[in-house]
């Protein structure tokens, strides 16, 4: 499979790793996704790069692909019907002009129908952070519409793949109220793949083991470290500002935050305030109630196990905390 080039800080880097996830894409391509697959995970774990590589993978498997990423203002129609592509690009131009993102998100339904009206074929819809564009209150209805596209098509299709990515804990909660999608987590990069990415960065740089401890496999944290001249203190300070960790917030929740930093399973205590969990989810600081470490539940590889030699989890990231009920927790 051809590997795409992704922009990483001031560098153009070939997409690396995620081999397990790309094999999952091939499996979906061969049998269809029977539900929309909603991919969630820590901010910066690499969902967007993975989805863009997925577009290339599906094209090589003879799919017509519509890709939407409204927040980045990136739209692609990798289709073999010139007039459908032209219609898509016209809609994109209108949307970029007036920023009515719901137009292009909803147009996907008509575009897929038009592709299938011409002939039976393989089609894919890849949507990245589209819920922020259409509004959280519309997320469940949008997913239901995509499910109807799979289950009740106006025109027959050969195969269909629908993947949606979100970093928002609240959108996961909203969609999870219904059984209209498969909610599937993606974690940070595994150690070997993360090292491949690290090695593409120019010297001088800290030893890999130190960077792994700081970033825990999170590509965005690696980017931030590189851009900050490898100053982890600067990256943490920026994170504090971005996540609105104000002195008042810290003072109010200090006792619990100290417990969570030392042991994420503290969030499973029956005494933990629900408001704290809600605020941490809203700030995308935790992935709450995560799945068991079994491959069937995950996109790509599950999080690494806790290192029995320490009280910490290998793969810890300064950018996220992930908890679950048993000793399977990972941060």
The model's confidence at residue 170, banded by pLDDT at 50, 70 and 90, is: low
Co-location of 149 and 73 in the same domain = yes
Based on the fold, state whether residues 145 and 287 are members of the same structural domain.
no
Q: In sequence order, what are the beta bridge partners of 116?
A: none
DSSP-derived secondary structure for 216-265: TT-HHHHHHHHHTTT-HHHHHHHHHHHTT--HHHHHHHHHHHHHHHH-GG
Whether 327 is covered by a domain: the verdict is no
Query: Three-state secondary structure along 116-131?
Result: HHHCCCEEEEEEECHH
What pLDDT was estimated at residue 307?
58
- The verdict on residue 300 lying in a domain is no
Give the whole-angstrom CA distance, residue 306 versus residue 137: 37
Average pLDDT on 124-152 reads: 92
pLDDT tens by residue, 108-137 = 999 999 999 999 999 999 999 898 888 888
Q: Tell me the pLDDT tens digit for each residue of 39-95.
A: 999 899 999 999 999 999 999 999 999 999 998 999 999 999 999 999 999 999 999
Summary mean pLDDT of the chain: 89
**Model confidence pLDDT, tens digit, residues 191-243:** 999 999 999 999 999 999 999 999 999 999 999 999 999 999 999 999 999 99
Domain of 51, CATH number, reads 3.40.50
For residues 231 and 143, membership in a common domain is answered with no
Predicted confidence at residue 240, as pLDDT, reads 93
| 308: pLDDT strictly greater than 70 | no
Residue with tokens 């590509």: 219
Shared-domain flag, residues 178 and 213: no
């Amino acid at each position: 499979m051809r590997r795409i080039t992704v922009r990483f800080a001031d560098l153009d880097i070939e997409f690396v790793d995620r081999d397990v996830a790309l094999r999952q894409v091939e499996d979906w391509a061969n049998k269809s996704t029977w539900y929309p697959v909603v991919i969630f995970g820590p901010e910066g774990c690499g969902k967007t790069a993975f989805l863009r590589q997925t577009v290339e993978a599906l094209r090589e498997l003879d799919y017509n692909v519509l890709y939407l990423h409204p927040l980045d203002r990136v739209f692609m129609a990798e289709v073999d019907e010139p007039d459908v592509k032209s219609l898509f690009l016209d809609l994109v131009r209108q949307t970029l002009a007036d920023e009515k993102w719901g137009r292009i998100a909803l147009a996907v339904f008509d575009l897929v129908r038009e592709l299938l009206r011409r002939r039976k074929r393989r089609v894919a819809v890849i949507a990245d952070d589209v819920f922020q564009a259409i509004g959280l209150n519309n997320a469940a209805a949008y997913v239901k519409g995509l499910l109807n596209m799979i289950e009740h098509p106006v025109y027959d299709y050969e195969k269909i793949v629908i993947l949606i990515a979100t970093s928002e804990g609240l959108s996961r909660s909203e969609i999870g109220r219904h059984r209209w999608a498969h909610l599937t987590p993606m974690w940070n990069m595994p150690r070997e793949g993360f090292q491949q990415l690290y090695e593409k960065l120019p010297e001088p740089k800290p030893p890999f083991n130190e960077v792994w401890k700081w970033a825990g496999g999170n590509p965005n944290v690696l980017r931030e470290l590189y851009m900050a001249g490898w100053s982890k203190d600067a990256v943490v300070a920026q994170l504090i500002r971005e996540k609105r960790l104000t002195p008042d917030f810290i003072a109010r929740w200090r006792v619990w935050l100290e417990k969570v930093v030392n042991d994420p399973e503290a969030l499973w205590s029956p005494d933990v305030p629900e408001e704290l969990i809600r605020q941490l989810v809203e700030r995308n600081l935790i992935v709450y109630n995560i799945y068991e470490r079994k491959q069937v539940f995950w996109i790509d590889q599950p999080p690494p196990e806790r290192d029995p030699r320490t009280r910490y989890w290998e793969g810890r990231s300064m950018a996220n905390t992930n908890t679950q009920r048993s000793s399977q927790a990972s941060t």
